[in-house]
Structure 1
Amino acid sequence: MRVLCMCKFCLQCRPCPWVKKVNQRQIYNMSTEEQMLLKGNLITCNTEAWQSHPDFFGLQRLGGVDLSYLKEDDTVACASLVVLSYPELEVIYEDCHMVTINAPYVAGYLAFREVPVLVDAIQKLLEKDPCLMPQVLIVDGNGILHHRGFGVACHLGILTDLPCIGVAKNLLQVDGLENNDDHKDQIRKLQNGGDFFNMTGSSGTILGAALKSSSKSTKPIYISAGHKISLETAVRLVHSCCKYRVPEPTRQADIRSREFLCKKTSTANS
């Protein structure tokens, strides 16, 4: 894995520009400029041999990442990275640690808030035990299903140079996509686990897919390509690692980050 260092406001080498006192318009201008610079390197097709195999032969490790925030302070969070074996879906590596988040939440710019600490976690694994590096990352968020076609899964994928998939629990309504009656009717037609439909925006671009991840799921999950993987492959892979509604890598990352955060706060209060 190579961590890219290529943007004007480098996430790895310089303090986040939001640390300085800037107004909202400056925030938008800086972050949009960086997104567009990184987006020029985006790849939304398969790049790895295992991606084209019907059973993903050659894929051995999946990564999942998550951040859980303190309820009373959204600048303090637990960052979690888990690596699961494939196809067994057993956790073979986990790292949870407390982090300070310097950037505020701004809709459409989640990556600037969360990606730096996630890149650090992946870099830590690379240095500690490269044999356990994931071959693909699954992120609780969106890829190209985004206001500017560049969500957190794209951002993380490019900065880590890893295939990355965005999986969201709710529909991000962009480019004419709406959670309206037509959309709900399409969801009702999803009968079995693995059923899905592609979502095409007003621009004519297929932005993602709504997947019924298990036979018991009443709500779909929304999958979009992040980096170095096609949407078709992303849908197949995500479905193959769903024991429940949410894919196991992000489910385990979420569970473990919440547990770690709970223990830390309990210890601090005792």
Structure 2
Amino acid sequence: MTESGADSSDGNAIYVFAVCRAPEQAVVADLPGVAADAPVRTMPFGELTAIVQTVRAADFSDEVWQARLSDTRELERYARAHHHVVEAAAAACPTVPLPLATLYHDEERARLALTGETRRFLAALARTANHSEWGVKVYAPERPAQEVSRPAQDMRSARRGPAVPADRPRPAPGAGLAYLDRKRGMQARREQRQEEDLRVAEAVDAEFQKVAAAARRLRPHGPELAGGHRVQVLNATYLVAERRADELEKLTGVLQDSTGALIELSGPWVPYSFVGEV
């Protein structure tokens, strides 16, 4: 939750939203930030500037923050407030966003700690300047639901016991073998579909990487997050130069037509995913 020793004692702490080149105070002056009783402001350190706010340290103690993490609405409120400040700064100049709830005891400690990271910040600013982050989620083409096979029904009926008249004809010889063959066929088709989905994911990722300056593959969402019966085969994010952003929507349409997959494009975002890769 905190960095460089901000604690829960009485008094104030310095909350740091982001590091920028040299933004004007007016860019963030009217933003509420994460606290209602102090303005968001700029804090120069060396050749860079931090976007900060003075907050009550007790409001960000480990105990309070852990309670906040378990309250979805409260956590979302803080996350949105944090992002709103970062977004405003990024709209004005190249910006390195810092993690949610980055705090220091006081300005002296904040400046000392941030100055020690100057080389990393400069590298991140150079990497992401005039670039945005775009998210790409790919879902496998929809396929018809598999019908329940007759042999499977027969096998289940057999396990339930003698629910039919004794003089009813017995299943034809070979019914069990046919059932097993059908099961093996279904397994083979599932494996084939998985291979096809992997090829689709790799093909889409390769095409987006041709446009992007950098890329990150994330863990695909399960059905509960992907929505209904959709199978997500790619969850990735790309760092794309602003001058090439117009290419993304067209590329998405072309890839959807060629693969049959559903592709969701989101962005542009502040490049959170790429500021640490320096």
Q: Is TM (by shorter chain) over 0.5? A: no
With structure 1 as the length reference, what TM-score do the two structures score?
A: 0.25
Whose Rg is larger?
2
